[in-house]
Structure 1
Amino acid sequence: MTAAEIYLKTRLNERQSSGTYRRLKPENDLIDFCSNDYLGFARSATLKSNIEQEVQNHPHSFNGSTGSRLLSGNLQYAEDLEKTIAVYHQYQAGLLFNSGYDANLGLLSSLAQRGDTIILDELIHASAIDGARLSYANRYSFKHNDTESLEAKLKLAKGNCYVVIESVYSMDGDTPPLLDILHITEKYGANLIVDEAHAVGLYPAGLVAGLGLQKRIFASIVTFGKALGGHGAIVLGSEILRQYLINFARPFIYTTAASFHQLASVKMAYQLLNSAEQEVIDLKNNIKLFKEQITSKGTYPLLNSDSPIQCIVLGSNDKARGMANTLQNRGLDVRAILSPTVAAGTERIRICLHSFNTSDDIIKLTDTINQFINAR
C-alpha cells in the first residue's frame, strides 16, 4: 500500500475500533420509521403518475440538462418553477439548487466576506457549517435555541452579520423560539437565515410562512427531498439575493443543472401539497399517538419535539445500536444515530413518523421501545 492508502486504512481502523464505522445498507421491507418521507410523497402512486403525465406533456424535453444553467442547461420551465415556489412560500424570488447541501454551501460561502460574521446554532446542519467555513467571515456558534447565548455572540459581531438556524432540527426534531430569535437579530441589525428542510410538510409552506415572517427573514432554504418526496432545493429571498447567487454561488455556477424530470417532479409535488390536508392531519395524529404511548423518561429521555422527528437519547453507541437492532428484529426500521454524527454522550435512536404509518404500527413501535427501556 502507498503511504496515502496506509493513512486511509489507519483512519478506517480507528473508526471500527471506536464503534463509529459507517456502512451503507440497501432498502428493506421493514415498517418505515426511518425516512424523511413525512407525507408519503416519495412512495405516492398519484405523484408518480402526475410526474409521468407532466413529462409526456413536454415531449421535446431532454433526458439530461446538457450543462450548467449559465451555459446550456437553463430552461424557462426552471425559471417559471422558481417563481411558482417563491409565490407559494410568499417570497419575492428563489433560486434552485441541486440539493439542500448545495443550497446551504452556495448561500453561506458566497454571502459573508472577510470582516463579516456568521453565527450558527450549535446543532445546525453540517452543510451550513461547511458553507460558513468556506467563507472568509468570522464564525461563532451559540448554544442550541439559547437566545442569551445568541445575543452574547451578536455583541461580538463585525461587518454584515448572518444568523443561521433551522425551523425543525434534523437530529433533535425541536423548533427554535423563532420570534424571539428574530427580535434579537433585528435589534443588532443582523440577517436571519432559516433552513426549513424538515418543517415543510408538518407546516405546509414552512414555519416562517406559518408565522407570516417572510418579509423579516433574509433567506429561507427549502429542500425537496423530505416531505416533498423529490430531490433538490431552493433558496428563497429577495430578487437581489437571487441575482447575487447566480453571480457568486459556486455550487450553482459550476454544476450541471437539474434534469427536466427532476424539475417536473418538484412542480408536481407542490401541486400535490396543495391537496394534502388529510396527509398533514394524519401525520399530526400519528405524532400525538406516539407521544401518548411512549413512556421513555429519566435515564433515557424522549427529546421534546412536536415534529415527525422523535429521538430517544441512549448515551452511548452500543446502547443506541442495541435498541435499533431490537426494533429492526421486530420489523421496525429505526436507525441508531451515533457519534460523531451527534455529540458523544447524546447517541440516540431517531424515529421518523409519517402520515402513512398505521396506529397498529405505532403501538408496536412504542411497546417495543417501552419494553426495551424497562428491561434496562
Structure 2
Amino acid sequence: MSSHSLTEGLEATLQERLGRRESQGRLRQLHAPRTDLVDFSSNDYLSFSQDKDLRKAVIEHLTNFEEQQPPSPSNRRALGSGGSRLLDGNSEFVEYLEKKISSFHGSQSALLFNSAYDANVGLISCVPGEGDVIIYDDLIHASIHDGMKLSRATRKIPFAHSSILRNASRHSVEKPEMKNPAMRVIESLGLVLKQLTEMDQHIKGGSSNVFICVEALYSMDGDIADLEYVSAIVKSMLPKGNGYIIVDEAHSVGVLGDGGRGLVCQLGLQDQIWARVIGFGKAVGCAGGAILCSSVARLYLINYARTFIYTTAMSFPSLASINVAYDFLITGKADKRRNQLKLLVDYCHKRLKNLDQSLQPTVATLRVLGGPPCSPIIPLFTSYPKSLSQYCKRSGFMVRPIVAPTVPLGQERIRICIHATNTIEQIDNLCRAIEKWLSRFITRNHIEEMERGQTNVSMSAEFRDSLLENGKAKI
C-alpha cells in the first residue's frame, strides 16, 4: 500500500471523527479575537495585559536588561533561553524571580513552569507513588486529569464538587442538573476519606499517602472552595499526617487575598496546603505558571517532573513581564483596580438578577445563580448558549458559550467575565442585549407545546435554530 493511500485512510478517519463532533454541536474552531467587541470573555480580570504603564515598564526592562537590578540573565540572552533549565536555560534572574514570587505568596520555595497546565501535569505525574491515592474534585481542571493518567498512584477517586463549596451541605450529593441516568452519584469528600481509611490499612496507618486536589476559584462557575473545611476534614480523617492538599490557584491569584496573593493566603492556610499551583495567564496578564512548595519538593520536581526537565525554559521577555506584573502587585498598584473590579461584579450580578426576576424566564431559557458573586466570573445557565452568545456578539459584546464536554451535559451556559476596565455603561448595555434576546422567546407553555408539536405558532429562525442546537448538544 502506498504512503498516499495510508495518508488518505488516516485523513478519512480524522474527518469522520470531526464530522461526528460537528454533528453533536461540539466542534471547536480557532477565531481571531474581534477588537470591535467589548470584552466580557477573557481571563484578564485586572486588565493587566492592556495596561500602558505596565507595558512601558516591560519594554524598559527588555531594553535595559543588561543594566537592570535585580540581576539580568547570567547568560545575557535577550530573547530565547537557550535550552532547558537543567542545561543552558537557567539564570540568576529566573532564580531571583522565583524567590520574589515565593516570598510574596508566603511559600518556602517556588519553581517556574512554562504554564500552569505544565505545572499541574508535572506535579501530579511524578509525586504520588505506588500505594498512594489521589482524590480530586469531580470538576477539577483537565491538567490534573492528564497528570493522573501519567501518575503511578494506585487509585484516583473523584469527590463531589458541591461538597467542598462555601456554605455547602456536607453530605453526598449529585448536582440536580445532571440528568444522565448512567452517571453514578459521586460521594462527598468526607465520605470518600472515611471509606479510604476504613478499607485501606496502609492509608489508615499512614504508610501510604493521600493527595487531595482542588481549585481555589473555579473558572466555569466562579465559585470558591471552602479550603478551611477541606483542611480541617483532611486533618481529622488522616491524623497520621499523610494527607497532602494541592490547590490550583490559577484563577484566584491577583483577584483574591491581600494584594492578590490568592485564597490560601487570604485564609492564612500557607502551612496547611502542601502545594499550590499558580498561573500568570489570568489576572497577572502574562503567561506561565509556578508551583509553590517546600524546598525539598522543589528539588524533587527539578529531578522528576518531566514537564520541567524536558522543555525549553521560559524566555527572558516572559520572565520580565512576570517580574513587572509582580512589582505592580507587591507595591499595591493593583489594589484600586481590584476594588473597582469587585464593584463592577456586584453591579452586573444585581442587574442580571433584576432582569431574571422581572422577566421570569424558564430555567431552561436562563438561570442566574442566586447568591452574591464570589469572583469576576458570572455564569448564565441556558439550554441555548450558542444562540445567546451569538446575539450578544451581534450587539457588540464578546461572551462565549460553554458546552459539553467542557461542562457536563445539562450545565451549558455562557460565561460572563468582568474586568477592572469594563464600565457601568458597558454592563448596562450587555444586560439590555440579554433582555432583548430573552424577549424573543415566547412563554413557557408555548415552548412546551412547540416541543410536543401541539402548536401552529410560527417560530423565529433564531429560536428554531436554538432548539435544534440544544438537541444536537444532548445527543
- TM value normalised by structure 2: 0.76
Q: Which amino acid is 1:308 matched to?
A: P
**Partner of residue 301, structure 1:** 367
Q: Measure the CA separation in 1 of the matches of 2:126 and 2:236.
A: 24
Q: SS of the counterpart of 1:24?
A: coil
Q: Measure the CA separation in 1 of the matches of 2:294 and 2:438.
A: 49
**Partner of residue 366, structure 1:** 431
Task: Tell me if 1:31 matches 2:38.
Answer: yes
Q: Which amino acid is 2:192 matched to?
A: K
Change (3 A) 1:134 1:156: farther
Matched residue count: 373
Q: Measure the CA separation in 2 of the matches of 1:197 and 1:130.
A: 17
Q: Shift in Å at residue 301 of structure 1? A: 1.6
Q: 2:104 aligns with which of 75, 88, 94?
A: 88
Q: Which amino acid is 1:257 matched to?
A: A
Q: Is the 8 A contact 2:40 2:398 kept in 1?
A: yes
**Partner of residue 345, structure 1:** 410
Q: Shift in Å at residue 246 of structure 1? A: 0.5
Question: What do residues 54-109 of structure 1 show as CA deviations (whole Å, max 9, x unaligned)?
Answer: 12232343310010000111011111100100000001001000001101000100
**Partner of residue 19, structure 2:** 13
Q: SS of the counterpart of 1:311?
A: strand
Unaligned runs of 5+ in 1: none
Q: 1:111 aligns with which of 116, 124, 127?
A: 127
Task: Tell me if 1:162 matches 2:202.
Answer: no
Q: Which amino acid is 1:87 matched to?
A: S
Q: Shift in Å at residue 152 of structure 1? A: 1.6
Q: SS of the counterpart of 1:145?
A: helix
Task: Tell me if 1:192 matches 2:262.
Answer: no
**Partner of residue 326, structure 1:** 391
Q: 1:210 aligns with which of 240, 259, 266?
A: 266
Q: Which amino acid is 1:78 matched to?
A: V
Q: SS of the counterpart of 2:161?
A: coil
Q: Segments of 4+ in structure 1 off by > 4 A?
A: none
Q: Is the 8 A contact 2:125 2:151 kept in 1?
A: yes
Unaligned runs of 5+ in 2: 1-6, 67-75, 164-169, 172-187, 197-202, 442-475
Q: Shift in Å at residue 186 of structure 1? A: 1.6
Q: Shift in Å at residue 322 of structure 1? A: 0.2
Q: SS of the counterpart of 2:292?
A: strand
Structure showing greater Rg? 2
**Partner of residue 42, structure 1:** 49
Question: What do residues 158-216 of structure 1 show as CA deviations (whole Å, max 9, x unaligned)?
Answer: 42111111111011110011111111112233111111111112210001111111011
Question: What do residues 271-328 of structure 1 show as CA deviations (whole Å, max 9, x unaligned)?
Answer: 112311110011001101101101337612223542111111113xxx1000000000
Q: Is the 8 A contact 2:382 2:412 kept in 1?
A: yes
Task: Tell me if 1:77 matches 2:83.
Answer: no
Q: Measure the CA separation in 1 of the matches of 2:10 and 2:210.
A: 40
**Partner of residue 311, structure 1:** 379
Q: 2:162 aligns with which of 124, 137, 145?
A: 145
Q: 2:59 aligns with which of 52, 55, 65?
A: 52
Question: How large is the Cα RMSD of the aligned pairs?
Answer: 1.4
Q: Is the 8 A contact 1:220 1:237 kept in 2?
A: yes
Q: Measure the CA separation in 2 of the matches of 1:37 and 1:211.
A: 24
Q: SS of the counterpart of 2:143?
A: helix
**Partner of residue 286, structure 1:** 344
Q: Which amino acid is 2:427 matched to?
A: I
- TM value normalised by structure 1: 0.96
Q: Which amino acid is 2:137 matched to?
A: D
Question: What do residues 318-374 of structure 1 show as CA deviations (whole Å, max 9, x unaligned)?
Answer: x10000000000100001011111111111101110000010001111222233234
Q: Measure the CA separation in 1 of the matches of 2:162 and 2:249.
A: 15
Q: Is the 8 A contact 1:116 1:161 kept in 2?
A: yes
Q: Is the 8 A contact 1:202 1:284 kept in 2?
A: no
Q: Measure the CA separation in 1 of the matches of 2:51 and 2:140.
A: 30
Q: Which amino acid is 1:291 matched to?
A: H
Q: Is the 8 A contact 1:55 1:61 kept in 2?
A: no
Q: Shift in Å at residue 28 of structure 1? A: 0.8
Q: Which amino acid is 2:367 matched to?
A: P
Q: Is the 8 A contact 1:168 1:199 kept in 2?
A: yes
**Partner of residue 131, structure 1:** 147
